[in-house]
Amino acid sequence: MTGNGGAPQSEGKDPRLEACGRCPARDLGLCPSLQQEPGLPLETGFARARRKLCHQGEAASHVFILCDGWAFRFVTLADGRRQILDFLLPGQLTSTAAPFSDYHEASVQTLTPVRYARIERQKLLSTLRERDHMLLRLTELCVADIQRLQDCIADLGRRTAMERVARLLLGLYERLEMRGAVEDHAFEFPLRQEHMADALGLTPIHVGRMLRQLRTARIIRLQARQLQLLDLAALREAADGGLESA
């Protein structure tokens, strides 16, 4: 099952992941097709936290789907500056555009222990050419991706640090709620300030200041890798410029 060669090393079993039997490609809607498709074998594997699944610039022989755990996709500039492009939640393709790129345009790194599935890219492509409903679905995912990236550009270009932080938290909250991973407005939150900083174009220190502001205003509670949104309305307010320089 994990005896794959060349690709990211599988890291043995993790009890937190072992039990999971959920659909590996929930977001795709490809899920049933993939599993029925005879020429499309799914290999599964595990990786521990802080491991790289894909390396920017390398040839991309496989496409990865996250089954369990969090990861993020990012690029690094020549001098080491890092920009996180997206946080990846269970059920997501590692990159929507990946099936069509011969090389990894970005790197992917795990935040938590992760169970993943991978598919040979060429086989996926030929299947896509035959099965137009699958292609259409994938295209729709690309469109959603474009939409999200554009929002992100507006955030980075024109929003303040506080707005960016608030919007990041809200965005993750909404995505996790759709997956049923939220209870009492609280959820697992494996991000470090460093990750938020690299996603938001800020410094970890400044992210920390914004978080403290939100915490002392009783808008969020963040401890022990758990985030709780205490005052959703106020957070939405902050996300739209309502909490500047206070």
Cβ neighbors of 106 (< 8 A, separation 6 or more) are: 54, 56, 73, 74, 75, 85, 95
Shortest spacing between CB 199 and DNA, in angstroms: 12
Please, which of residues 120-149 interact with DNA by CB under 7 A?
A: none
Shortest spacing between CB 133 and a copy of itself, in angstroms: 9
Q: By CB under 8 A, is residue 145 in contact with a copy of itself?
A: yes
b/e code 104-134 from CB counts within 10 Å (16+ = b): bbbbbbbbbbbbbbbbbbeebeebbeeeeeb
**Tokens linked to 133:** 């409903």
- Single out the segment in contact with a copy of itself by CB under 8 A; choices: 5-13, 72-80, 170-178, 187-195: 72-80
Q: Using CB distances below 5 to 8 A depending on partner kind, what does residue 18 bind out of a copy of itself, DNA, none?
A: none
User: Rounded to whole angstroms, how far apart are CA atoms 146 and 190?
Assistant: 25
Q: By CB under 8 A, is residue 97 in contact with a copy of itself?
A: yes
x/- site string to a copy of itself, residues 23 to 62, per CB under 8 A? Answer: ----------------------------------------
| Contact between 10 and 46 (Cβ < 8 Å) | yes
| Contact between 30 and 137 (Cβ < 8 Å) | yes
Q: By CB under 7 A, is residue 244 in contact with DNA?
A: yes
- Strands (E) across 69-183 are located at 71-76, 82-88, 107-110, 114-120
Closest by alpha carbon to 1, among 117, 112, 91?
117
Give the total of residues touching DNA (CB under 7 A).
Answer: 21
Q: By CB under 7 A, is residue 192 in contact with DNA?
A: yes
Q: By CB under 7 A, is residue 194 in contact with DNA?
A: yes
Q: Using CB distances below 5 to 8 A depending on partner kind, what does residue 146 bind out of a copy of itself, DNA, none?
A: a copy of itself
Helix/strand/coil for 162:
helix
Q: Using CB distances below 5 to 8 A depending on partner kind, what does residue 203 bind out of a copy of itself, DNA, none?
A: DNA
The residues that touch DNA, with contacts defined as CB under 7 A, are 160-162, 192-194, 201-206, 208-209, 211-212, 215, 223-224, 244-245
